[in-house]
Every structure is written in C-alpha cells, then in structure tokens.
Structure 1
Amino acid sequence: MTEGDLTGRRVLVTGATGRIGSVLVRHLNELGALVTTLSNQADPDLKADRVLVGDTRAEADVANALEGVEYVVHLAAIAHRDAGTPYDVYSTNVVSTFNVLAQAGAAGIRRAVVASSINAYGVPMNHHDVAPAYFPLDERIPVDIDDWYSLSKQNDENTARMACRHWGINVVSLRFPHVHSPEALLGQSEWYRKDPVQGMREGWAYLDSRDAARVIELGLTRPVEGAHVVFAAASTTNAPYRTEELLEAFAPRVPKLRRFVGREVPMDLTVARTLLGFQASYELDLPTLNLPAGST
C-alpha cells in the first residue's frame, strides 16, 4: 500500500458526527474514498457514500456497517470522564472498541485506526496531586490512572493489541491531546495565558482537527504492521510562554530528559514521524511572552 492510496476503497468511520469524525469524513471524501459512517445520531450535514445510524456496542449494527469495508476508523466514544456516569463512560467505550475491532478482525479486515487519548496514561484527569513521570511525554511513560475514562482508553489500547494478536488486524491507536478548530484552540491558548498550570499534565499539547484527519489517513495508508500506540500533536505548545519556563514554574521536580527550544511541545513525537511520516501542518501563530514573575 502506498501513502494516500484510498481512492475507491471503502472506509468505515464510527463516531462520524463528532469533532474529529466530521472533519475526517470530508477529508476522506476528498481523497476519493467510499465512506461508510456509523453514528448514534443523524446529522443532515454529514455527507458520505453510506450513512448509518446505530450503536457501536450492538453486534448487528456493527456487522451491517462493516459490509464491504476494507479499513476501519473507530472514533465513537463518550469523550470525557464527566460526560456520563462512570459505568456508562467506561462500558460504552470499552465495549464499542472491542465490538468494532473483534468483528473487523474476524471479517479479515487488516487495518484499523482507533482514537485513543493522551488520558490513556492517566495523569491528566487524575484527582491526586500528581505530575508526569518525566518530560517529554512519550508512549512508554508510566501509567497512573484513577478515573474511568482514562481506564477505558488504556483498555482500548489493550483491545487493539489483543485483536492484532488474535486476528492479525494491524491497529494504530492515536493518543490525541486536545483536538479542535483553530478558533477553539486560540480560546484555549488564552486560558493558558491566564492560568498556564492547567495545561502542565498534558504538556500544553494540542492538535488542529485537520491534522487529526491527516494523521488518521496516514494510520490507514502507511505500511504499518502490528499494534502501535502513537502520540500525535502539534510541535509547539498552546501556551504563549517558553516551555523551559513553564516546566521550571509548574513542574520543577519532574525530570527533563532533554531541553526544549522556545514553545516546543514537551512531547516526544518521534514515533509519529518515523512510523507514520506525520508532522502537524496547522500550528497556532502565538507570540512568545515572558512568564509573569511569581507564576507557580
């Protein structure tokens, strides 16, 4: 398979009406893919070759959606710890991922991309006074989970490894940071300007929705074998301060494995570059300000 080779290929996108899904469907349409969508609600603005409304937890709905499919993108999930009861968030996410990957693997589909999350390592939503084990964040960072959403994303990655081992389906699990439109990301940047400590556990990382669509495309089309976890983010932070100053102020006891230049994101993006050939194209053009004196 060569990069970008999706013309005429049928791709299932679950969660297609969501923030990433709606942008991805447009992107895949532009690439000439035949897109099947499976969402839990109708959206009159959603344009795809085959539009389905159903539940990714339901065996029959997923089996119907997988008809004729060659590639799967699984985005459907309850996307936050507080967007439902702990039972609903955890059970919805893990059952959906298992159902989609198990049926895809059993059907002989050989490539899937799953939306994991930066929260899969547990620290960002942790209720305790914890910090990352080190910076830059990477795919091997120790896990410290105390919430059901983060646990669901960690177990989604486990499901991907199981499905790969059992059925031979190659899966890329993308650990997304905050993904949104440029306007919303600018709003978050203003929040971090006023209260930068809020972004420390995520390394002030972000990704434009258009770049999320692009990295998903690469996850489908690059010659990747096995089950892989990949951090995907912009190369700069969403805070208008120098990264070294932010870390010194808000994570002074966290080991730094290297130094950071300017607003460089304290996240190791090597796997995204080497495995998928991905580098973000849409980055915020922010001024670099001096961190106010006394910031802690």
Structure 2
Amino acid sequence: MSSSLSGARVLVTGAAGRIGSVATEHLAAQGALVTALTIVEEPSLKADRVVIGDTRSEDDVADALDGVDLVVHLAALPHRDSGTPYDVYTGNVVSTFNVLAQAGARGISRAVIASSINAYGVPMNPHDVAPAYFPLDEKIPSDVADWYSLSKQNDENTARMAWRHWGIDVVAFRFPHVNSAGALRRQAEGMRVNPAAGMREGWAYLDVRDAAYAIELGLTAPFKGQQTFFVAANTTNAPYATEELLDAFAPAVPRLRRFSGREVPIDLTAARTVLGFQAQHELDLPTHRLES
C-alpha cells in the first residue's frame, strides 16, 4: 500500500504488546519498514527487524534506533498493579525519557507515545473522587494519587521537554481501555451489570485496530510541537443513555454540554480536527433504560 509512511523506518517499542503487535502490523501494511523493540521474543511480529532489549537500556535503545525515521513508544508497565510502585513508576518514566531523548538527539522528526486516560489521575485514585466536569478534555484538572497515573502524567511532561529541547514533534495519546473486539464486548457486559464502574473513565473504550490507526495519523498528520489527545470510540461501552448514566453516577459533576444517546462524554474535538481521527470499530449495543 502506498502512503506517506512508505519506505520510512519506524521503531515500535513494546512491539509484542496488545497495541504494539497490532500497530506493527498496521504500519507495515502502510508500507513502513518496522523495527520492533521488545523485551520478549514474539516470532509472529510483522517487523523486518527485531531487537530484543529493554527500553530502559541506553545501549538497547541506541541499537534499535539505528536508521530510524519515526518512533512509536508503547513499552510500559500498563497498570498500577503491574509491579511494585517503584518498578511501575521508574520503569515507565525512564523508558520514555530514554527513547525520546535519544530520538531527539539523533534529529528524528516525530514520535508517538502511549499516555493514558489515567494521566488525569481520577480513574485509579483510591479516594472518593470524580472528574471535575464532563466531557473530559485535555485541560481537565488532575488529581493524581497513584504511581501509574503519575508516570503517565510525567511521560507527557517528558514529551513537552523533548520537543522544546530537541525540536522533535511528539504526540501523546491518552488511551482509554484498549482491547480486541471480543474483549470489549465482554467488558460491555460487565458495564451492563455494574455501570458505576465506568464513570471515572467516562465509559470510554477503543478497539485496538483504531488505536493502531490513531498511531498512523500521529506519525503523519501535518502539525508541529507537542500535542496530547484523548482518543476513544464515539460511543460508550455501557448499554445505557449517557445522560442517564451521568444522572445516576455523577449527578454533582458539572456538564459543559448535553450528550446524545450513548455518546462518550469525552471531548474528541482535538483528535478529530488536528489528526482527522474517527474510530471505525464501535460496539453495537442496544440502549436499555437504566433501572434505579
């Protein structure tokens, strides 16, 4: 397939992960030459060069960056409970700094990194808190009380620093829960039974194929600087009207506008206007009345 990525050498870190493996295949299908950096061997990776290494290692990252034009940094411990607090926080922030600093110093023009909806702190917060308002947007106040969310917030700070210091353009995606279509359908069944569980994330989700597409746009869209975007499906993963969900589970949270049907209460304007992103794979759910 001919695209603006044809012939470009793209490094994907965390290439054996849930998003990384699909993104690697997607980018290769766009004509990119993919270098995969992974800490575990995965023979099925659709990459023409595979480096087994650790994104915390200066030498491993330097090896992986050889001949690279663009970077996709996805390697991370993906949850607060993926290791000790020290391991989760230091592993994530050191990896992101190492990759972006070396890419910037080499004059690489563009990088995409995986931030998280958790960068604003509320979803994993151990206290009884709620978002400052709906729809969530990139300027929403943060309330961080866990090490994973802090690591993602500081990954975004690192992205801004790398742009200001080296001039590398960086996109940080605040991904919600990203998974395969089947896993998302199972999650939606859980939200049918216990919709309160999704309030802090605005009942947001994203098919992993759409995450890969967003990454492609992050590498190719015409912009300069450092940009942070919420990306999500246009609809929620709960089979209830969004207004009913908010009335039931976030009645005291201000709403900056009204929501139609199962519209996700996240402002996706920035990703739509700057990147041209629209999710293509959404859950086809009935809309039930929410019982009180």
- Which structure 2 residue ranges, 5 or more long, are not aligned? none
How many angstroms does 1:25 deviate by?
0.7
1:142 aligned partner, one-letter code:
P
1:259 aligns with 2:258: yes
Name segments (4+ residues, structure 1) moved above 4 Å: none
Match of 2:202 in 1: 203
How many angstroms does 1:137 deviate by?
0.2
Q: How does 1:73-88 map to 2 (within 5 A)?
A: 73-88=72-87
2:77 aligned partner, one-letter code:
I
Match of 2:145 in 1: 146
Contact 1:4 1:218 survives alignment (8 Å) = no
Greater mean alpha carbon deviation, residues 39-48 or residues 161-170: 39-48
Q: How does 1:145-294 map to 2 (within 5 A)?
A: 145-292=144-291, 294=292
1:275 aligned partner, one-letter code:
V
How many angstroms does 1:273 deviate by?
0.3
Rounded Cα–Cα distance in structure 1 between residues aligned with 2:97 and 2:57: 11
Contact 1:205 1:265 survives alignment (8 Å) = yes
Match of 2:24 in 1: 25
Rounded Cα–Cα distance in structure 1 between residues aligned with 2:223 and 2:165: 17
How many angstroms does 1:46 deviate by?
1.2
Contact 1:114 1:172 survives alignment (8 Å) = yes
Normalised by the length of structure 1, the TM-score is 0.98
* Alignment size in residue pairs: 291
Contact 1:4 1:217 survives alignment (8 Å) = no
Normalised by the length of structure 2, the TM-score is 0.99
Rounded Cα–Cα distance in structure 2 between residues aligned with 1:144 and 1:150: 9
2:181 aligned partner, one-letter code:
P
1:127 aligns with 2:126: yes
How many angstroms does 1:195 deviate by?
0.3
Rounded Cα–Cα distance in structure 2 between residues aligned with 1:123 and 1:74: 24
Q: What's the secondary structure of 2:99's corresponding residue?
A: helix
Q: Does the C-alpha gap of structure 1 residues 120 and 4 become closer, same or farther in structure 2, counting only changes over 3 Å?
A: farther
Q: How does 1:48-59 map to 2 (within 5 A)?
A: 48-59=47-58
Deviations 1:58-82 (A, max 9, x none): 0000000000000000000000000
Contact 2:3 2:31 survives alignment (8 Å) = no
How many angstroms does 1:44 deviate by?
1.4
Q: What's the secondary structure of 2:10's corresponding residue?
A: strand
Contact 2:138 2:228 survives alignment (8 Å) = yes
How many angstroms does 1:31 deviate by?
0.7
Rounded Cα–Cα distance in structure 2 between residues aligned with 1:288 and 1:190: 13
CA RMSD of aligned residues (A): 0.8
Rounded Cα–Cα distance in structure 2 between residues aligned with 1:256 and 1:171: 30
- Which structure 1 residue ranges, 5 or more long, are not aligned? none
How many angstroms does 1:4 deviate by?
3.9
Rounded Cα–Cα distance in structure 1 between residues aligned with 2:123 and 2:41: 32
Match of 2:88 in 1: 89
Rounded Cα–Cα distance in structure 2 between residues aligned with 1:29 and 1:168: 26
Match of 1:43 in 2: 42
Contact 2:135 2:256 survives alignment (8 Å) = yes
2:140 aligned partner, one-letter code:
I
1:103 aligns with 2:102: yes
How many angstroms does 1:47 deviate by?
2.4
Contact 1:121 1:145 survives alignment (8 Å) = yes
Deviations 1:109-130 (A, max 9, x none): 0100000000000000000000
Contact 1:29 1:48 survives alignment (8 Å) = yes
Deviations 1:13-71 (A, max 9, x none): 00000000010011011111000000110011112110111000000000000000000
Q: What's the secondary structure of 1:112's corresponding residue?
A: strand
Rounded Cα–Cα distance in structure 1 between residues aligned with 2:178 and 2:140: 21
Identical pairs, percent: 72
How many angstroms does 1:286 deviate by?
0.4
